[in-house]
């Protein structure tokens, strides 16, 4: 990331770091330790990258307090408790500064006269904002966005290009919704009739997304049948996730790409859901559960455990079962040999 300009003293204040080296250094870019060039700041948190420390062309390195600094070097160091999360914080800060430059309402765009839009917002070209919409201070809505009637969006939320937000959705403060996500589309509600056909069950509820939620690109969150599909505060979702109608996702839960949660299931708080996890409907799942990638959850689960496999089972039980599973081919061969010996004995 280039086209930035920071005095290292100011940078140190942002990330609460102690400077070891040149306090007058100017930073012009951010990069990884291998490809960094002069003027860049990078970070070192994983010891396997320590070998690059003597060869990097970076001018400054964000580094953990626990790592011993080399004695002979011209590098400048920014010492912090956790360099990885600190570098992420720095990236977020720079992104905020770039986004904060966006302001005003671009043409062409449509905003219904009944909507209440704070003066300090950005609305990109070709956006559509329906009746009785409320948008709070500092919110950024990028081009080609659709916001349906009676929707409420809080302060300092970022809606990236192509997002579709259906009627009556409620989105909190400091949320991020990435490109082409859909919030509030119909839940998958169909009932078989006497003709063997499926009749549509209207979905008339809404979606509530609380504060500090991040939603990745091409993710879909369906509205509830009658009440609300709820995403609690602090939830982070990856790209390509399906959240069905009436689902509740608990606080500070993280969900990786291509996962799906079927209708009316409740996830507790602080869950960690791996990629391609599938969760069936009408379940109640506890707090602090870790779901390994491609886990299939088919029944209620208690809190504070790690689940693996299909159907999902506790990690310890899965590992014991897997030891036996790996041996099945050799066990089969032994059974065949025993069967042959038994057959020969019976023949005699």
Active site positions, annotated? 245
Cα 11 from chain centroid?
A: 27
Contacts of 238 (CB under 8 A, 6+ apart): 216, 219, 255, 256, 257, 259, 275
Strands 26-27 and 289-291, bridge-based pairing: unpaired
């Amino acid at each position: 990331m280039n086209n930035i300009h920071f005095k290292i003293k100011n940078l140190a204040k942002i990330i609460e770091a102690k400077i070891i080296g040149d306090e007058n250094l100017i930073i012009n870019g951010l990069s990884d330790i291998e490809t960094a060039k002069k003027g860049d700041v990078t970070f070192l948190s994983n010891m396997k990258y320590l070998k690059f420390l003597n060869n990097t062309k970076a001018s400054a390195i964000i580094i953990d307090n626990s790592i011993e600094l080399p004695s002979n070097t011209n590098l400048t160091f920014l010492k912090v408790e956790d360099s990885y999360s600190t570098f992420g914080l720095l990236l977020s800060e720079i992104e905020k500064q770039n986004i904060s430059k966006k302001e005003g309402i671009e043409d062409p765009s449509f905003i219904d006269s009944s909507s209440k839009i704070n003066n300090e917002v950005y609305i990109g070209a070709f956006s559509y904002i329906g009746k009785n919409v409320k948008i709070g201070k500092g919110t950024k809505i990028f081009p080609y966005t659709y916001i349906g009637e009676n929707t409420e969006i809080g302060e300092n939320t970022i809606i990236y290009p192509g997002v579709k937000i259906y009627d009556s959705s409620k989105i909190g403060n400091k949320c991020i919704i990435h490109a082409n996500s859909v919030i509030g589309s119909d839940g998958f509600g169909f009932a078989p009739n006497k003709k063997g056909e499926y009749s549509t069950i209207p979905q008339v509820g809404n979606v509530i997304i609380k504060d500090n939620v991040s939603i990745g690109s091409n993710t879909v969150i369906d509205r509830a049948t009658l009440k609300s599909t709820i995403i609690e505060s602090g939830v982070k979702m990856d790209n390509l996730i399906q959240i069905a109608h009436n689902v509740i996702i608990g606080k500070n839960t993280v969900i990786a790409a291509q996962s799906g949660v079927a209708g009316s299931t409740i996830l507790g708080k602080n869950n960690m859901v791996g990629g391609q996890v599938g969760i069936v409907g009408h379940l109640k799942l506890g707090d602090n559960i870790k779901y390994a990638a491609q886990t299939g959850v088919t029944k209620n689960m208690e809190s504070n455990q790690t689940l693996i496999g299909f159907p999902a089972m506790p990690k310890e039980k899965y590992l014991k079962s897997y030891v036996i599973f790996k041996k099945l081919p050799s066990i089969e061969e032994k059974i065949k040999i025993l069967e042959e010996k038994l057959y020969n004995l019976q023949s005699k």
